[in-house]
Amino acid sequence: MGDLKLAWRNIWRHTRRSILTMMAIGFASLLLVFMLSFQFGSYEGMIDASVRLSTGHLQVQAQGYHDKPEMRKVVTNPREVMDALTRNPGVEACTARCQTFVLASSEDRTRGVMIMGVDPETESRVLKTSSLIRQGDYLSSDDPNTVIIGALMAERLKIGLGEELTILGQARDGSIAATVMTVRGIFKSGIDEVDRSTVQMLLTDFDQLFGMDGAVHAVVAVVHKLTEVGEVKRALMQDSALKGLAVLDWMELSPGLKQSIQMDLVSGIIMYVILIIVVAFSIMNTFLMAVFERTREFGVMMAIGVKPLRLVKIILMESMFMTGLGLLFGMVLGALLTQYFAGVGISMGGASDLMAQYGISGRMFPRLSVISLFSGPILIGVVTFLTALLPALRIPRLKPANAMKAV
């Protein structure tokens, strides 16, 4: 207890230097808490926006369809699968979907495209395609034999609203499937690959054209919270209604998205390590000065019988006091700042309007979590302890007689 009091008092022998050191630790801690929360929040927003444009959070497919999409690999009982998904409290909405590759021709040009059969009512609850229509209207059950196409495809095929699109493909039984559809709408998702190669038609039209007999290729679902995807997936895999089917999450459906997030996270970690190294040098400077300035004092204390290891312990206690106060200060301010911006969001400036056109919020929302709150400060605490240990270990090598001569 006596050593604790001594260490506490020693901190305030140089009040200005101690406060500056604690502020440096606190600022680094605040920055790490906020930046990690911002990074995790932006990932969540990016994933949610991306999956709601294409894959959904989860898909139920026939075994092997994801690795090798073939018309014959189908979910034969989509109604039962959708009922099972709806029963799960974590699932927000789901829809059935068919898809295959076909040749699409206008009067002048032909291109290979992916055509999707969707139910407009359930599809609009899951994905955002209906909000991306730039010309015309979205699909309607009251208007069969119509399609919507991407804006880039419309340019390349030189086709517009009300014009006919000829579709030629292979049905589920291997026969030729061909029809002529009218362009009802043109959408723009902001993703070139989607806008260049995607056509949507009514699920009923797809079923009739390709002889699906009520089967579909996937049941797509979105969940209430991104963090619940794993839990919902595990529950669905145990559901008897999905026996023999594959349940895939967004990481399996969009591996490129996961890899881009991992790369961004690694670059962020490198920046955080540089920040921690800067703070570590600040701590080392403080304690080197403390040891050098107090060399005479240490010599006197050792001469009257104080063990060197006790002096090392006191120095480390001083370090931990300053680090602890700095970390507490930074974590509290970082959590308050994060919670504030989690409510109001951070505007993306000029990009907000552009992002809003594609159904993506123009504001980024940090998300405070246990990992973002504690991981950075704990790392700073470990580094500062090791940094303070280096000058403190100089004390046992001091000779009392020589140390007392130090100025």
User: Which residues are registered as beta bridge partners of 11?
Assistant: none
The 8 Å CB, 24+ separation contacts for 289-294 are 289/17, 290/10, 290/14, 290/315, 290/318, 290/391, 291/315, 291/391, 291/392, 291/394, 291/395
CA 243 to chain centre: 30
Of 65-79, 203-217, 271-285, the least confident: 271-285
Task: Please tell me whether residues 119 and 220 are part of one structural domain.
Answer: yes
Task: Please tell me whether residues 134 and 198 are part of one structural domain.
Answer: yes
For the segment 192-201, what is each residue's pLDDT rounded down to a tens digit? 778 888 899 9
For the segment 294-349, what is each residue's pLDDT rounded down to a tens digit? 888 888 888 888 888 888 888 888 888 988 999 999 999 999 999 999 888 887 66
User: Which residues are registered as beta bridge partners of 187?
Assistant: 133, 150
Collapsing DSSP to helix, strand or coil, 267 comes out as helix
Output the pLDDT for position 349.
64
Task: Please tell me whether residues 43 and 60 are part of one structural domain.
Answer: no
Task: Please tell me whether residues 269 and 239 are part of one structural domain.
Answer: no
Residue 286 is part of which domain span? 1-51+257-404
Q: What value does the mean pLDDT of the chain take?
A: 86
Task: Please tell me whether residues 65 and 155 are part of one structural domain.
Answer: yes
CA 390 to chain centre: 38
pTM of the model: 0.71
User: Which residues are registered as beta bridge partners of 264?
Assistant: none
Task: Please tell me whether residues 183 and 40 are part of one structural domain.
Answer: no
Q: Specify the residue for token string 């895939």.
A: 248
Give the containing element (helix H, strand E) for 277.
Answer: helix 255-293
Amino acid at 186: I
Output the pLDDT for position 286.
74
Q: In this structure, are strands 110-118 and 198-202 parallel, antiparallel, or unpaired? A: parallel
Q: pLDDT at residue 172 above 80?
A: yes
**Domains held by the chain: number:** 2
The domain boundary, picked from 220, 253, 286, lies at: 253
pLDDT band at 1 (very low <50, low <70, confident <90, very high): low
HSE-up (13 A, CA, CB side) for residue 298:
27
User: Which tokens belong to 48?
Assistant: 């949610």
For the segment 220-274, what is each residue's pLDDT rounded down to a tens digit? 999 988 888 999 999 999 888 888 899 999 889 888 888 888 888 888 888 888 8
